[in-house]
Structure 1
Amino acid sequence: MRSSNPAEPVRGTRPPRSGHPERDVVRWRLVRYGGLTGAAVLAATAYLGGVLPVWRPGVTPVSIWQGPHGPLILLGWLAGTTLLVGAWWAGRHRVPSARWVLVTVGLWLLPFLAAPPLGSRDVYSYACQGAIYAAGADPYAVGVAGAGCPWLEAVSPTWRDTPAPYGPLFMLVAGAAATLGGASLVGTVALLRLAALLGVALTAYCLPGLARHAGVDRDRALWLVLACPLVAIHLVSGAHNDALMVGLVVAGLRVVRDRPGRALPLFAGGALLGLAVSVKVTAVVVVPFAMLAALPGAYRVRALARHGGLVLAGTVAAAVLVTGLAGLGPGWVRGLASSGESVQWTSLPTAVGLALGYLGRPFGADWYVVPAARAVGLGVLALLLVAIWWRARHGSPLRGAGLALAATVVLAPVFHPWYAVWPLAVLAVATVPARWLLVPATVVSFLVLPDGTNLARFTKFPGTLAMAAGLVALVVVAARRVAGRPRRPDARHDAAGSRH
């Protein structure tokens, strides 16, 4: 039965093709080459004002506009991003084929491969962390400044004295990139970008299988994930390690879902998830849902212990093995605390804390409750993850995993635009309305300027108010829905009434 919502994936069906093949050819050419034009414009913008390997303090949108090529940089960023977003939206209902998707996305990614990074300086931090690790230092014990990174000027000051918050597998990858890149920062960045590309390729390879299991359109799922502008701008151009984490998460879920009840595939799928955790610890929220996906039949505690236990064992074994191979301890977990140094309204708990502080100002109160709001947010997240898992026991583990990642992104102390790809990669194969995926990713695609300047820093007050208002509206809507639900009739009353 077809869904009444055209933006919603429909189990086991594909949207009908248009009755005008000539128009379809023109339309899909416009989509492909419109997006390619946007990618080329953004790549050119990266040369003019991207994330160059020299840190410049005091940069603002105004200083960018008034600087060399300023109007061209900002207009190119706006036009290029708009073209990519528009092309992505154009395929939200249907696309010609999986092959067409892969060729189109491949064309879009090409301009970024030889251009400077866009949107973040993180790749330079990766390079420095890899360099000091390759030189024998412990990146979990010392910052890159203390260990003498040769490319320190490229790193944001926030990360110069901060231990690495990434897992041991990524330290191995970054160390290999720094070693093979030699003394060249450009070569090291290119190799880190190659690792990100491998993560995207792994997602592209494994996603169709997950779509088949979920009964959703494979081609459309590929499009929603791979053609998302965040993938090109941040995962590939910015070379974020999130690409590798997402690829391993999708691969692990695919292997588990392919062979539920089979010992070796379940252990192997868990091992892939363990590798994902060894890149970024966030991936751990997927593991309980992969354990549910491992069940060959209905949920039973004994079956969960037997089959889900194999997934958990694979996860732990892989994480321990990689930690041993890297010669590093679990010190990277301590580095996670430094990720919370960024205070921006794009994180919901942070926005709530900022809003409470603003409320106190008219009364002369100096309330800085961001740490407390973040702590409450983590507590709510823990409860929400348990609730999502509890419901997924008799529902869809894939949908549960996607919702768990979405909750983690929304309630985490810090948010960056590329985090939106985490839930997108899994929810694209779940039966959720496409607007839930498209709208947030579209909004955050415009949050960061080419050189990594985050607009959230300069919109703190209005952004905080918008987030707080959105939260209040969400609570009101949820309360109305709960209050408006028809109450279940009392069974005894029904039974008594049936005798009259």
Structure 2
Amino acid sequence: MRVLSPSVRFLLGLAGSIAIALGSFGVGWIGPDSTLHDWAALEFIRNSRGGVTIAGLLVVLGALMLLVAWIALGLSLLERRNGSGSGSGSSSSSRSTTAARRTSLNEVVASAAAWGAPLLVSLPLFSRDMFAYVGQGRLMAAGLNPYTSGMAALPGWYGIGVDPLWADTSTPYGPVFVWLERVVVQSTDALPTELAVFAFRLLAAAGLAMLAYYAWRIARLRGLNEAGVLWIVAASPLVIMNFVAAGHNDSIMLAFIVGGVYYALRDRPLLGTVFIAVAIGVKPIALIALPIIGLIWAGSAAGWGAIVRRWAAVAGIALGGLALVGWSLGIGMGWLGALATPVSISSWYAPASILGIGVGGLFQGIGLDGGLAQEIVKLALLGAGCTLAAYLVIARRRLEPLTLLLGVFAAIVLASPVIHPWYGLWLLTLLALTGAERLWSMRTVVYSTVFFMLIGLTEPLDLIPRLETDTRIPVIIIGVALVGATAVLIGSELLVRRRRAVLGFRMPELA
């Protein structure tokens, strides 16, 4: 019943990761002033129709190979769980089950590490945010406040490789991360920009390793399937694409959120609060995790007096600490303005954007201000999401903490007009930690992963100037991605149905 042998799926995922890394040299991001433009072979690949086509196909086919290997690994975990649950309860059966779990955990960890390693040396893919990190670090090094100055205030900013959208946009990151940006930039000041980018990628990869560690600790604490949790949190191709290749700092934010919850659950709420404060200092959206720490600290049976005192304590510790950090850096509490970032941009696939565009078009058709109507719809839905999050924290405060945290994040993310692929990882990580017990939740993980992968795979295609005049290349590449992902999903569904029929069990939980 094995889909692929362990060695085959391990090597398939590794080959996929290597293919993405090789393809990145044709379609990955390079700043206009980069010294890499002096490499004749690289310039030939990036400016020839055949080179760009092959590079784009390598990225897409590599991602599909990673997806196949990851799904095959997930199916093997389900199969092992079913086999391990059929013992008689003897000590030998218990030892066998423990050994099988340890083998599964080791395989997931080894796969995640090996599949991510080649992308440490790839050119940036799926996002240009690492170049923005460099630019903001240079703003800090120049004595400018990134909360009041956009990238355009920095001489030569465009040559770094920063997306022009950042020209007049203040940073959406917290004081801890802008301090890290300054440290990285000052440490690599005399070196090519690519080394600063590499340093940010190493920070993101370290964040992923830390996230995996605390996810594993919570899985052990809650009696979840540790391998199954890490299969979602660390080995997913969506994770590898966004937290390694793209180097997003969300891995650091999530690591400190999950670590904070872990310590709060282990009766160390002060340490947990400090962890959440650092997470807010990376990305202010982590602020919504603070009330959950207060609820854990107060206990499920606590009255409102105790809860309010705990909320006041965690808010004082976290916000007071961040105020001190901001003061020491000379940037104050400007990060609070970053909380408004989600309403300033949109993703075409976000429910709020889809509804806003529809309502705006309707108003435009009857002679009214469609743009204003669209903005009102977006703000109304985001307000509804925040209201739902507040309701969960207040009225459903006795829910299991990780379930409550997932609900709060989902309420705000799904109501936001912007949902980047790496935002999806916030929810998938928390879903894994609540225990993905049913077939619908596993389908949610797999289908969400595929959807956001496809969104991410289209990102590199707007960079290469060649594609502006030769639309056949992106059509071919996107077509291969769509057909391949559809085939993988159909194949995985057929395999799941076959296993349910042959083995005769209700789809077992992964956690």
TM-score scaled by length of structure 1: 0.78
Task: Write the mapping of 1:212-291 to structure 2, written as runs, cut at 5 A.
Answer: 212-259=220-267, 265-291=268-294
Task: Write the mapping of 1:274-353 to structure 2, written as runs, cut at 5 A.
Answer: 274-337=277-340, 340-353=343-356
For 2:147, which of 140, 159, 184 is the aligned residue?
Answer: 140
Q: 2:33, 2:159 within 8 Å by CA — same for their partners in 1? A: no
For 2:204, which of 196, 214, 217 is the aligned residue?
Answer: 196
Runs of 5+ in structure 2 lacking a partner?
Answer: 35-45, 78-100, 464-473, 476-511
Which residue is 2:67 aligned to? Answer: 85
Q: 1:256, 1:293 within 8 Å by CA — same for their partners in 2? A: yes
Query: Secondary structure, in 3 states, of the residue corresponding to 2:457?
Result: coil
C-alpha displacement at 1:54, in angstroms?
3.0
C-alpha displacement at 1:363, in angstroms?
5.3
Distance 1:66 1:375, change over 3 A: farther
Task: Write the mapping of 1:49-68 to structure 2, written as runs, cut at 5 A.
Answer: 49-54=27-32, 67-68=49-50
C-alpha displacement at 1:431, in angstroms?
3.1
Count residues in correspondence: 423
Q: 1:118, 1:450 within 8 Å by CA — same for their partners in 2? A: no
C-alpha displacement at 1:70, in angstroms?
3.1
Which residue is 1:14 aligned to? Answer: none
TM-score scaled by length of structure 2: 0.76
The answer to whether residue 45 in structure 2 is matched with residue 41 in structure 1 is no
Which residue is 1:187 aligned to? Answer: 195
Query: Secondary structure, in 3 states, of the residue corresponding to 1:393?
Result: coil
Query: Secondary structure, in 3 states, of the residue corresponding to 2:434?
Result: coil
Tell me, in whole angstroms, the C-alpha distance in 2 between the residues paired with 1:151 and 1:367: 33
Superposed CA deviations along residues 416-436 of structure 1, whole A, max 9, x for unmatched, are: 111111122222110342222
Tell me, in whole angstroms, the C-alpha distance in 1 between the residues paired with 2:157 and 2:368: 46
Tell me, in whole angstroms, the C-alpha distance in 2 between the residues paired with 1:68 and 1:340: 40
Distance 1:336 1:287, change over 3 A: closer
The answer to whether residue 376 in structure 2 is matched with residue 372 in structure 1 is yes
Superposed CA deviations along residues 203-255 of structure 1, whole A, max 9, x for unmatched, are: 11111222233332122111111012222111111111111111111111111
Give the RMSD, CA atoms, in angstroms. 2.8
Q: 1:293, 1:398 within 8 Å by CA — same for their partners in 2? A: no
The answer to whether residue 424 in structure 2 is matched with residue 425 in structure 1 is no
Superposed CA deviations along residues 380-416 of structure 1, whole A, max 9, x for unmatched, are: 1111102322454222111110122222221112121
The answer to whether residue 217 in structure 2 is matched with residue 209 in structure 1 is yes
Superposed CA deviations along residues 103-161 of structure 1, whole A, max 9, x for unmatched, are: 21110111111111111111101101001202222111212221325664411111022
Distance 1:106 1:298, change over 3 A: same
For 1:407, which of 404, 408, 411 is the aligned residue?
Answer: 411
- Partner letter of residue 22 of structure 2? A
Between 300-309 and 169-178, report the one with greater CA deviation: 300-309
Tell me, in whole angstroms, the C-alpha distance in 2 between the residues paired with 1:453 and 1:417: 16
Which residue is 1:131 aligned to? Answer: 138
Q: 1:211, 1:218 within 8 Å by CA — same for their partners in 2? A: yes
Tell me, in whole angstroms, the C-alpha distance in 1 between the residues paired with 2:243 and 2:105: 21
Q: 1:129, 1:174 within 8 Å by CA — same for their partners in 2? A: yes
For 1:435, which of 433, 436, 443 is the aligned residue?
Answer: 443
Superposed CA deviations along residues 239-282 of structure 1, whole A, max 9, x for unmatched, are: 111111111111111111111xxxxx211111110111111111
Q: 1:225, 1:425 within 8 Å by CA — same for their partners in 2? A: yes
Q: 1:32, 1:104 within 8 Å by CA — same for their partners in 2? A: yes
Task: Write the mapping of 1:150-169 to structure 2, written as runs, cut at 5 A.
Answer: 152-169=159-176
Between 357-366 and 126-135, report the one with greater CA deviation: 357-366
Which residue is 1:472 aligned to? Answer: none
Tell me, in whole angstroms, the C-alpha distance in 2 between the residues paired with 1:121 and 1:55: 15
Which residue is 1:388 aligned to? Answer: 392
Q: 1:51, 1:450 within 8 Å by CA — same for their partners in 2? A: no
Q: 1:417, 1:445 within 8 Å by CA — same for their partners in 2? A: yes
Query: Secondary structure, in 3 states, of the residue corresponding to 1:448?
Result: helix
- Partner letter of residue 285 of structure 1? I
> Which protein has the bigger helix share?
2
Q: 2:10, 2:111 within 8 Å by CA — same for their partners in 1? A: yes
C-alpha displacement at 1:192, in angstroms?
0.8
C-alpha displacement at 1:99, in angstroms?
2.5
Q: 1:163, 1:332 within 8 Å by CA — same for their partners in 2? A: no
